[in-house]
């Protein structure tokens, strides 16, 4: 900022410029940090993959996979440009939880017999991460990161969160298993049998009706569950999805064990804090016995 002071002129007055440096810190726009911009692109790609999810498995898998892979890139950008923020950490976690939940919801509808399993996986994923985040913020302080786990509390979580390669491997193969199941819902007759019976089988309809009625007679809406399953039937080869599912299953199962450990440890940490707080408040209060002997 520049201010002017008088310098001498012909009339005896002084009119001289003096520059005064005023330190004015510019307010950073956290929302435009590079890792957060990557996070927004992840959200856009995830939404696009959901749009193509019902009937376009290849396009959906590609968009969903890119969104998941960018999860590693935003962490690298945060360290490279020194732009690690709490908003970015929460955005990253919320995006992960929501995208995985949306995929599991689709799998629950694609495999009705296993819907309770997918519902349980959604609940476990959300509950364990919420409890862990809340316990970290309430017990470890507002400046504590959920990825900084003391080894005395859990060596499993310490190894899981402290090593970026381990964290990336577990998260990537966990998502790969669910993507493989998604692809199998389009290709494997063992997992997704058609709702319509074969035309050679006897019909349960009344006499005089065709043995194999037209799909339009059964599925009036093109977006009904039956019509969508017919559209998905045998749409692609199941060899590669089966291979991916078999390879990634052990890591996915291990990831669910880690979620259980995370949920239990966070619950115990919160209970420990509750006990300390109750001691400070003098709880439980010792009540005097109400039954006193009458003199």
Q: Which of 60-64, 122-126, 177-181, 207-211 shows the lowest per-residue confidence on average (mean pLDDT)?
A: 207-211
pLDDT number for residue 148: 81
Asked whether residue 172 carries a pLDDT value surpassing 60, the answer given is: yes
222-234 per-position pLDDT tens digit: 667 667 777 776 6
Q: How confident is the model at residue 36 (pLDDT cuts 50, 70, 90)?
A: very high
CATH fit for domain 30-193+228-276, picks 1.10.287, 1.10.3470, 2.60.120, 1.20.120: 1.20.120
58-96 per-position pLDDT tens digit: 999 999 999 999 998 998 999 899 999 989 989 999 999
pLDDT number for residue 203: 46
SS3 of 143-209: the string is CCCCCCCCCCCCHHHHHHHHCHHHHHHHHHHHHHHHHHHHHHCCCCCCCCCCCCCCCCCCCCCCCCC
Structure tokens at 234: 């045998």
Cβ atoms of residues 44 and 34 within 8 Å: no
Q: How confident is the model at residue 218 (pLDDT cuts 50, 70, 90)?
A: low
Classified as helix, coil or strand, 7 is coil
pLDDT number for residue 8: 55
Average pLDDT, the chain: 82
Residue 96 designated active-site: yes
Cis peptide before 284 (omega within 30 of 0): yes
Per-domain residue ranges for the chain? 30-193+228-276
pLDDT number for residue 25: 64
Q: What DSSP string describes 27-70?
A: PP-GGGSHHHHHHHHHHHHHHHHHHHTTT-HHHHHHHHHHHHHH
Q: Which of 60-64, 96-100, 189-193, 209-213 shows the lowest per-residue confidence on average (mean pLDDT)?
A: 209-213
Q: Which residues pair with 5 in a beta bridge?
A: 16
Which is the catalytic residue, given 23, 96, 150, 237?
96
Burial class (CB in 10 A: 0-12, 13-18, 19+), 112: exposed
Maximum average pLDDT range among 15-24, 192-201, 209-218, 257-266: 257-266
Q: Which of 78-87, 92-101, 248-257 shows the lowest per-residue confidence on average (mean pLDDT)?
A: 78-87
Give the percent of the chain with pLDDT over 70.
74
- Please, what's the largest Cα pairwise distance for the chain? 119
Please compute the mean of the pLDDT values over residues 261-278 and round it to a whole number: 94
Give the percent of the chain with pLDDT over 90.
50
Structure tokens at 198: 């074969």
């Amino acid at each position: 900022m520049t201010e002017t002071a008088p310098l001498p002129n012909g009339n005896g007055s002084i009119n001289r410029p003096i520059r005064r440096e005023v330190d004015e810190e510019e307010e950073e726009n956290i929302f435009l940090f590079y890792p957060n911009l990557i996070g927004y692109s992840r959200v856009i790609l995830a939404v696009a993959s959901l749009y193509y999810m019902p009937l376009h498995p290849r396009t959906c898998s590609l968009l969903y996979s890119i969104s998941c892979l960018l999860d590693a890139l935003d962490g690298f950008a945060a360290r490279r440009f020194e732009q690690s923020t709490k908003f970015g950490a929460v955005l990253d976690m919320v995006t992960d939880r929501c995208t995985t939940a949306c995929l599991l919801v689709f799998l629950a509808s694609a495999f009705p017999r296993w819907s309770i399993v997918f519902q349980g996986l959604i609940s476990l994923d959300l509950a364990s991460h919420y409890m862990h985040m809340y316990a970290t913020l309430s017990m470890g302080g507002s400046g504590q990161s959920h990825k900084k786990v003391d080894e005395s509390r859990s060596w499993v979580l310490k190894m899981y969160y402290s090593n970026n390669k381990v964290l990336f491997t577990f998260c990537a193969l966990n998502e790969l298993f669910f993507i493989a199941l998604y692809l199998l819902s389009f290709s494997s007759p063992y997992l997704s049998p058609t709702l319509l019976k074969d035309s050679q089988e006897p019909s349960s309809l009344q006499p005089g009706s065709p043995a194999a009625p037209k799909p339009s007679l059964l599925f009036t809406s093109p977006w009904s569950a039956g019509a969508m399953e017919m559209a998905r039937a045998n749409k692609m080869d199941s060899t590669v999805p089966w291979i991916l599912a078999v390879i990634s299953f052990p890591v996915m199962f291990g990831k669910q064990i880690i979620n259980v450990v995370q949920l239990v440890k966070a619950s115990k940490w919160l209970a420990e804090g509750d006990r300390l707080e109750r001691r400070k408040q003098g709880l439980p209060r010792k009540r005097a016995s109400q039954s006193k002997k009458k003199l």
